[in-house]
Amino acid sequence: MVICDTSPICYLILIDETGLLPQLFESVTIPVGVKDELMAEQNHDLIQAWIAAPPGWITIQQVPQLIDNLPAKLGRGEREAISLAVSLQASLIVLDDWEARQAALSQGLTVTGLLGLLFRAGTEGLLDFPSTIGRLQQTSFRAAPVLIQQFLERYAQAMEQ
């Protein structure tokens, strides 16, 4: 069971790599709050069109109960994704926001982000990691340059073995 937040899906859509998700995981579940954030009018037309007719491997689910003690700074999608992951005992939650990641870890969840997904896909031969990172950097995606460099170095080392 994999739960995903809004941001990773947005950027996968923008770099045309959503097909990685069903290759890495049989299915991905998102809460209604994430669906609503993806449909928001300020989003790119590609994102709105994608969620308007979601692929079969996406499950959209209501959150049975929100966790009370999550940081107030978190957005609706993040709060719902973490709450859903806890209630479903998900094996993984995909979040990019640092505070959301910390909140998920404090709930005992296993967390990765978009860079982690792309790294895994690259090491499994599903994409060319360096060029995908280049495409990602052409979007509004933001990560510390040192973090991106660390991922690129880890990838180069993994490919040497």
The predicted pLDDT at position 90 comes to 96
Phi, psi angle pair for 136, to nearest 5°: -60, -40
pTM above 0.85, yes or no: yes
Backbone angles phi, psi at 22, to 5 degrees: -70, -20
pLDDT of residue 42: 79
Q: Which of 5-9, 23-27, 125-129 is predicted with the least confidence, judged by mean pLDDT?
A: 23-27
Cα-Cα-Cα-Cα dihedral of 106, 122, 27, 7, to 10°?
60
Instruction: Kindly tell me if the per-residue pLDDT of 161 is higher than 90.
Output: no
What domains, with CATH codes, occur in the chain?
A: 2-114 (3.40.50.1010)
- Residues 158, 111: Cα–Cα separation, whole Å: 21
In sequence order, what are the beta bridge partners of 111?
93
